[in-house]
Amino acid sequence: MDVSPHRLSVLLAVHRAGGIVAAAESQHLSPSAVSQQIKLLEKEARARVIDRTPRGAVLTDAGRVLVETAERIEEELATARRELARIDDSTLTGRVIIASFSTAIRAVLLPMLATIHESHPGLDVYIEEGEERPSLARLRRGEIDLVLLERDSHTLPPAPRGLADVPLLDESWLVVVPPDQPMPSTLADLVRATWIDLDHDTAGAFALTRLSRQIGTPLTLHHRAYDYDVVLAMVNQGLGYALLPELAVRSSSLPDGVSIARLPGLGTRQLAVRHRAVRGEPGPATRAVLDVLLEQAAGLDLG
């Protein structure tokens, strides 16, 4: 049996994405190209590797064996890339790539750069703003070294095999109040409020759902945004209340007339850093940046 490692990586993408179409998007291929690669893999393996169901692609027993093999190959390649890039010298050198979202970039990563430059002048820290799913795929492939994740109130599941999470910080969710609207003092005061909805893939969307359960009634949602600066602009226009993490408020200029309410029971947003945890990972350069990042986060004055 001669199985193509490339086709194994395609099967792994289908498994992680949950379907052919989503895998095609993550791999920058057409769905038909992904389907063709799966068919060729099944021919090579002499077994069906996925079952197509209304809820997505599900691995067969043979598919699970091949996915486990693909993960081991991916880990070995990531280790090889890092070992090739590592320079045996008394001074840390090299590039460390961090993928993150806007609030963490502004409040944590950008201030960290000055410290890195002073303590490790041989390191080149490269910051990318990006969405979580493609960033995690690149982390597994060894193209990114660290990815910052956000979750609502410690809902971060265990990291997949070959990866590890380091808690970075917890920050409060805050109610952002439009101009000329009453300031809430308890969660009960929020029952009749109209809210700016948040993109469904964000921690804020989960926090709004949790808030709805806490106050015992569905929230009235109007408009939807992803970028927190846009959310603040909508609140400033009187379009609704918003639920934002503390770093989003601290890193943005609060419009005149917009108020902030810190209420018991709103919960927290958890930030964590995910890195590879295979043989030799994280390397010295990545570990050094991670240590500075943790120090930077610990120094933040959060209420």
**Can you tell me which residue has the tokens 């049996």?**
1
For 72-95, give one letter per residue: b (16+ CB within 10 A) or e: eebbebbbeebeeeeeeeeebebe
What's the sign of the alpha-carbon dihedral 287, 289, 290, 291?
positive
What percentage of the chain exceeds 70 in pLDDT?
A: 95
Instruction: List own/partner pairs for 54-58 with CB under 8 A and 24 or more apart.
Output: 56/18, 56/19, 57/14, 57/15, 57/18, 57/19, 57/20, 57/23
How large is the average pLDDT for residues 14-34?
A: 84
Q: Residue 226 corresponds to which tokens in the numbers above? A: 């992803």
φ/ψ of 20, rounded to 5, equals -65, -45
Question: Residue 54 corresponds to which amino acid?
Answer: P
φ/ψ of 19, rounded to 5, equals 180, 170
The string of DSSP letters for 259-277 reads EEE--TT--EEEEEEEEE-
DSSP helix/strand/coil, 165: strand
Q: Residue 10 corresponds to which tokens in the numbers above? A: 């395609």
Pick the CATH number of 171-267 from 3.40.50.2000, 3.40.190.10, 2.40.170.20, 3.90.226.10: 3.40.190.10
Each residue's pLDDT tens digit, 151-160: 998 777 888 8
Choice between 226 and 128, residue whose per-residue pLDDT is larger: 128
Please give the mean pLDDT across all residues of the chain.
88
CATH 2.60.40.10 describes domain 5-85: no
Q: What DSSP state is assigned to residue 145? A: S
Of 22-26, 128-132, 164-168, which gets the smallest average pLDDT? 22-26
Q: Residue 40 corresponds to which tokens in the numbers above? A: 């060729």
What's the confidence (pLDDT) of residue 158?
83
What percentage of the chain exceeds 90 in pLDDT?
A: 50
Q: What is the dihedral of CA 82, 85, 90, 96, to 10 degrees?
A: -70
Domains 91-168+270-299 and 171-267 are alike in CATH topology: yes
What's the confidence (pLDDT) of residue 88?
47
Q: Which of the given ranges, 58-62, 83-87, 250-254, has the highest pLDDT on average?
A: 58-62
Nearest to 208 by CA among 222, 191, 193, 195: 195
Superfamily of domain 91-168+270-299 in CATH is: Periplasmic binding protein-like II (3.40.190.10)
User: Taking 50 as the threshold, does the pLDDT of residue 61 lie above it?
Assistant: yes
Beta bridge partners of 225: 198
Question: Residue 49 corresponds to which amino acid?
Answer: V
User: Taking 50 as the threshold, does the pLDDT of residue 148 lie above it?
Assistant: yes
User: Taking 70 as the threshold, does the pLDDT of residue 163 lie above it?
Assistant: yes
Domain boundaries in the chain? Answer: 5-85, 91-168+270-299, 171-267
How far apart are alpha carbons 251 and 300 in whole angstroms? 12
What's the confidence (pLDDT) of residue 210?
93
Each residue's pLDDT tens digit, 85-132: 554 444 678 899 999 998 899 989 999 999 998 888 889 999 999 889
**Can you tell me which residue has the tokens 């917009």?**
258
How far apart are alpha carbons 212 and 200 in whole angstroms? 15
How large is the average pLDDT for residues 264-274?
A: 94
What's the confidence (pLDDT) of residue 29?
81
Beta bridge partners of 125: 96
Q: pTM for the complete prediction?
A: 0.71
What's the confidence (pLDDT) of residue 86?
54
Q: Within the chain, how many helices (H) and strands (E) appear?
A: 11, 11
The answer to whether the CB of 50 falls within 8 A of the CB of 17 is no
What's the confidence (pLDDT) of residue 89?
43
User: For residue 301, what pLDDT band results from cuts at 50, 70 and 90?
Assistant: confident
Q: How far is CA 281 from the centre of its chain?
A: 20
User: For residue 251, what pLDDT band results from cuts at 50, 70 and 90?
Assistant: low
Each residue's pLDDT tens digit, 181-199: 999 999 999 999 999 999 8
